[in-house]
Structure 1
Amino acid sequence: MDPISHHGAVGVGEAEAANRRHLCSIMEACGFRRYDNEWWHYTLADEPYPDTYFDFPLG
């Protein structure tokens, strides 16, 4: 990804930067870790099944 997709990237509009920070604060408060190179990518910090891939239909 381009550096613009990173957390804290320069060149992002103020509204967009504020939205990214807001999302990050919510996600981290709920137990997720951010991936520094993609502002939209988070992982559950205490994943209960870290080595399990769930593949089943929903609905």
Structure 2
Amino acid sequence: ISHHGAPGITPTETENRHHLCAIMEACGFRRYDREWWHYTLENEPYPDTYFDFPIA
């Protein structure tokens, strides 16, 4: 049930997933079809840089 368009979730959950997807894609993110919560920035400004720092 983790992928976009998965059967077996409530109508509210379906609506929320569509809403999130529309917002994220409008802001330049591409969805990962197998996980409704997973998005990747299309035009990553630092594609070859790995950022590793503590978040406080």
Q: TM-score range by the shorter chain?
A: over 0.9
User: Scaled by the length of structure 1, what TM-score is found?
Assistant: 0.88
How many residues align? The count is: 56
- The answer to whether the aligner puts 1:23 opposite 2:20 as a matched pair is yes
1:39 aligns with 2:36: yes
Q: Tell me, yes or no, if structure 1 residue 14 matches structure 2 residue 8.
A: no
Matched, 1:48 2:35: no
Q: Secondary structure at the match of 2:31?
A: strand
**CA distance, structure 2, for counterparts of residue 42 and residue 27 of structure 1:** 8
Gaps of 5+ in 2: none
Q: Which amino acid aligns with 1:15?
A: T
Structure 1 runs, 4 residues or longer, greater than 4 Å off: none
TM-score, normalised by the number of residues in structure 2 = 0.92
Any unmatched runs of 5+ in structure 1? Answer: none
- CA separation in 1, counterparts of 2:2 and 2:55? 31
